[in-house]
Copies of this chain bind each other. A is one copy, B any other.
Amino acid sequence: MGKILMKGNEAIGEAAIRAGCLNYFAYPITPQSEVAEYLSRRMPEAGGVFLQGESEVAVGYMIFGAAACGERVFTTSSSPGISLMSEAISYISAAQCPAVFVNIVRGGPGLGGILPSQADYFQATKGGGHGDYRMLVMAPNGVQESVEMVMMAFPLAEKYRNPVMILGDGLIGQMMEPVEFPDHLESEPSNKDEWATSGMDTRKSDQRNLVKSLFLDSEQLEENNRILKAKYDQMKCEEVRYEPYNTDTDYQVLIVSYGTMSRVCKTAVDNMKADGFEVGMIRPQTLFPFPEAAIEEAASKESCRVVVSIEMSMGQMVEDVERSVHGKRPVKWHGKAGGDVPTPEEIIDVVKSFADIKT
C-alpha cells in the first residue's frame, strides 16, 4: 500500500481503526478536535462507535467500561482533558484493563494556550492520578510515527493489560505528511477471555471474570500492587524504545530530546556537524519506560562533556535524564513553554554555551 498525505490528527484516528479499535469516546478540545471530527464520520463507516461524552470525566469512565468488557477502546484529548481523566486512568490501571489515551499536549498550566507543548511529561510518566501506577508512554516525532505508535499501542495495552499513552503535540496533530499504514490488526484483545467481563454467553468457558480496583484487605491490595510493579519492571526490560542520532562520533555534547522538539534538534545537530562540531542525541521514543541505560552509556562516552535535556517544558524530562546519568556528567536543561518551538539557531547557541564554546 502506498503513502497517503494526511494531517496528523486524522492519521491518528485512521490508525486506531486499522488497529482494530472500534470504540472511540471523546470530548472536543483544541488542538485535537479533528480526531473527533474525522472519526465521527469514519467510525460508523467502519462499523464502530464514536460517542461524545458529556465531559472528560465521563469519557474516562466510558473508556473504563468498554475496556472492562474486552473491547478495544481509545480516546484523544488535550492537557486539561487528560487531567479530568486522571482518576479514571488510575482506576483502569488498578483494574488492569487495556486502553489507549492520546494526549495532543497544549501549553499549560490551566487553560494555557493552544500551541504545541511538552508540559505534560510528568503527568504522563509519573502518573497524574493517585496511587502506584504507570502508563506505557510513547512520544512520536511526526505523522508516520504517530500512526505506528497508535497501532502498536493497542497490542501493548493488551499485553500488559495497562493504559498506554501517546504523547503528541499540536504540531504533530496539525502537520500533513505522507503516511503509510501498517497492516490491519485483528479487532479483539487476544487474551480477553481470561479477564474481560464480556458476558457469559460470548465466552468459551464458564470462568467468571471480575474487574475491580477496590481491595479493602491489605494483603490483597499489596498483592495487586506487586502484580502492577512486576508489569512495570517488565516494561522496563522489554519496551524501552529510543533513537540514537550521530552517536557514532566523538560528540562533545549529548542532547536528549523527544517528539517535535527532537526534529529541530536534529537539524541543529546536522548544522553543527557541518561546522565541524559533533553533538550526539538520544531521542526517547518511550518516555516510560525511559531509556536510562542508553542515556547513561551515551553520556559516559569519553568525549562527552555535558548532557542537555531540551524540552518544550520548564524542566521535566531533565529530572529523568539527571537520574539516568548518575552524576557522570553535568546535566543541563533548556526549554520553552509558551508555544513557540525553539529554532535550530537557538538550540545551537544553547548547546555551544553549555559546551563553553564561543559561537
Q: Are B110 and A214 in contact (CB under 8 A)?
A: yes
Q: Are A108 and B82 in contact (CB under 8 A)?
A: no
Q: How many copies does the complex hold?
A: 4
Q: Identify which of B51, B58, B126, B339 contacts A122 (C-beta below 8 A).
A: B126
Q: Within 8 Å of chain B (Cβ to Cβ): is A129?
A: yes
Q: Most chain-B CB neighbours within 10 Å: which of A79, A313, A337?
A: A337
Chain B residues within an 8 Å CB radius of A129: 83, 86, 108-109, 123, 128
Q: Identify which of B58, B107, B131 contacts A131 (C-beta below 8 A).
A: B107
Q: Within 8 Å of chain B (Cβ to Cβ): is A91?
A: yes
- Residue of chain B at shortest CB distance from A339: B218
Q: Within 8 Å of chain B (Cβ to Cβ): is A80?
A: yes
Q: Within 8 Å of chain B (Cβ to Cβ): is A112?
A: yes
Q: How many residues of A contact B (CB 8 A)?
A: 72
A337 to B131, CA, bound (A): 9
Q: Identify which of B54, B95, B108, B115 contacts A54 (C-beta below 8 A).
A: B54
Binds B, one of A4-12, A176-184, A185-193, A320-328: A320-328
Q: Identify which of B57, B94, B111, B216 contacts A57 (C-beta below 8 A).
A: B57
Q: Are A109 and B130 in contact (CB under 8 A)?
A: yes
Interface mask (A23-62 → B, CB under 8 Å = 1, otherwise 0): 0000000000000000000000000000100100110000
Q: Are A130 and B80 in contact (CB under 8 A)?
A: yes
Least CB distance, A246 to chain B, in whole angstroms: 25
Q: Identify which of B90, B229, B313 contacts A132 (C-beta below 8 A).
A: B313
Chain B residues within an 8 Å CB radius of A132: 108-109, 119, 313-316, 337
18 CB-based A-B contacts, threshold 8 Å: A54-B54, A91-B111, A92-B110, A107-B218, A109-B213, A110-B213, A113-B218, A122-B127, A132-B313, A132-B316, A132-B337, A218-B340, A220-B338, A221-B337, A221-B338, A225-B314, A322-B326, A326-B326
Q: A79-B131, A80-B91, A218-B338 known; 14 other A-B pairs, CB under 8 Å?
A: A86-B129, A91-B109, A108-B130, A109-B133, A110-B131, A110-B214, A112-B131, A113-B214, A117-B131, A122-B127, A123-B130, A128-B130, A221-B337, A226-B337
Binding site for B on A (CB under 8 A): 51, 54, 57-58, 79-80, 82-84, 86-87, 90-95, 105, 107-115, 117, 119-120, 122-123, 126-133, 212-223, 225-226, 228-229, 313-316, 319, 322-323, 325-328, 336-340
